[in-house]
Amino acid sequence: MSVPIVRYKAELRKAIRRNAMEPEINFLNITAMLDIMTIILVFLLKTLGESTAAVPQSDDLRLPKSVITTEPPQDGVVVTVSKTQILVGDQRVVALPSRESMVQTGVGASFKRNGPSDLYVVPLGNALQAAGKTDKLIRAAKGLDSSSSDAVIIADETTPYRLLMEVIFTLGQSGFGKYNMMVIQSKQAPGNIN
Amino acid sequence: MDQPGQLSAAQRSRIRRLSQPKELNPDEEGGELNIVPFLDIVMNILIFVLATVAVTFTASIESTPPSLGGAGVRSDIKSEALNLTILIVNEGFSLKASGGNIATGCNGVGAGLAIPRNSGRYDYKALNECVQKLKGSNPEFADENQVTISPNPATPYSDIIAVIDAVRQTAQGEKLFDDVKFGVVR
């Protein structure tokens, strides 16, 4: 004969109590942390992508160091002078000769109208005028003075002055009233007099 | 045979079965995605971005291009001003003011290179002291902040920036010449 059903139920309750486990945490709720991190990531990537301050450093393009602490410019046509080429925006306009040749004749006579001593670089001037038109439209839309454009020069630290002068001269001839030269802030700059 | 008062084998087995803690089905476990690999990637990108940002703190030096025609630099300063020009040559710095060439050692007007190289290196400290001295030589020069820099064609960009840094302000932070123009050699 089996025991009464009441006894059986009591035994069952006791066994369930005995075997009951503590509620186990088998995953962390990291959704909130993930939200914050995603927002920071998107914000940083956006800031980095938008500013002209984002200059990748490589062997071909290494900015000079300076003690200056001014803010980098927010807009303007970007002219990049690396060791091997000149770019306007992302477009390559001139491939550069060797450094020795650049000291003598800058970009070389083939890119100029009146021989090697001319300072106006024709392909650079053409690209700058096209970029300048776009920049003026942007400036007008932003409500800024659109009579002249700003340029941002990103040049390698070894660029000889002869080449830099041709770039600056071509900028002036192409209707750019002001330019900013990008440098990297550093206390170890050679011109630091402190 | 079961003893009286004892649970039967079938009852014991039911108790064992029913008292086991319930295992949840995989699709009942709170519906959480495994985002750990995603989180790893996000963390890596975040650290990379932060590291890159910290390295490239850029600044900019403002100037105006030479005037149309290339005859010289744009100059909107009066004729009795200091009109300082710094020539960067291979041997050092040559300084020219409206009075004439600055003599070696920065002592008044005279022939020679104002600041020759010091043990093979450009002497930026001496250049800074010299322009400070020149600016202080006449109260009329106090408001003047324009300087023309004329480097050699072979002078690297980093040396030009170093000269701009050296003439920008004194060691005490007083402003010297922060409006830089470039000389165009024809």
In A, minimum Cα distance to B182 occurs at A165
Residue type, A90: D
In B, minimum Cα distance to A187 occurs at B165
- Name every chain A residue with its beta carbon within 8 A of the beta carbon of B171: 193-194
What CA–CA distance (Å, rounded) separates B108 from B88? Answer: 19
CB contact under 8 A, B163 and A18: no
- Strand ranges (E), A72-189: 77-81, 85-88, 91-95, 149-155, 176-185
Report, as an integer, the average pLDDT of B8-30: 74
- Name every chain B residue with its beta carbon within 8 A of the beta carbon of A162: 153-154
What CA–CA distance (Å, rounded) separates A147 from B108? Answer: 43
Residues facing residue B167 across a β-bridge: none
CB contact under 8 A, A12 and B19: yes
Confidence of residue B70 (pLDDT cuts 50, 70, 90): very low
Q: What is the pLDDT along chain A (194 residues), one digit of tens a residue?
A: 456 788 888 888 888 888 776 666 666 677 888 888 889 888 887 776 665 555 667 778 888 888 887 777 777 888 999 999 999 988 899 898 888 888 888 888 888 888 888 888 899 999 999 888 888 888 888 887 777 778 888 889 899 988 988 898 888 888 887 888 888 887 777 877 77
Q: Please give the share of chain B, as a percent, with pLDDT higher than 70.
A: 76
CB contact under 8 A, B21 and A20: yes
- Residue B30: per-residue pLDDT: 58
Report, as an integer, the average pLDDT of B91-111: 83
- Residue B71: per-residue pLDDT: 45
Closest Cα in chain B, distance from residue A111 (Å):
18
CB contact at 8 A, B131 and B93: no
Given A27, A44, A72, which is nearest B60 (Cβ)? A72
Q: How many Cβ pairs closer than 8 A exist between chain A and B?
A: 218
Which of B87, B165, B167, B181 should we substitute to test contact with A (largest number of A Cβ atoms within 10 Å)? B165
Average pLDDT, chain B: 78
Query: What would the pLDDT profile of B131-151 be if each residue is shown by its tens digit?
Result: 888 888 888 888 888 888 888
Tell me which of A5-19, A100-114, B72-86, B99-113 is least confident.
B72-86
B7 vs B40: which has the higher pLDDT: B40
Residue type, A2: S
CA distance from start to end of chain A: 103
Tell me which of A2-6, B100-104, B118-122 is least confident.
A2-6
Confidence of residue B119 (pLDDT cuts 50, 70, 90): confident
CB contact under 8 A, B156 and A159: yes
- Name every chain A residue with its beta carbon within 8 A of the beta carbon of B163: 191
CB contact under 8 A, A15 and B32: no
Confidence of residue B38 (pLDDT cuts 50, 70, 90): confident
CA atoms within 13 A on the CB side of B56: 18
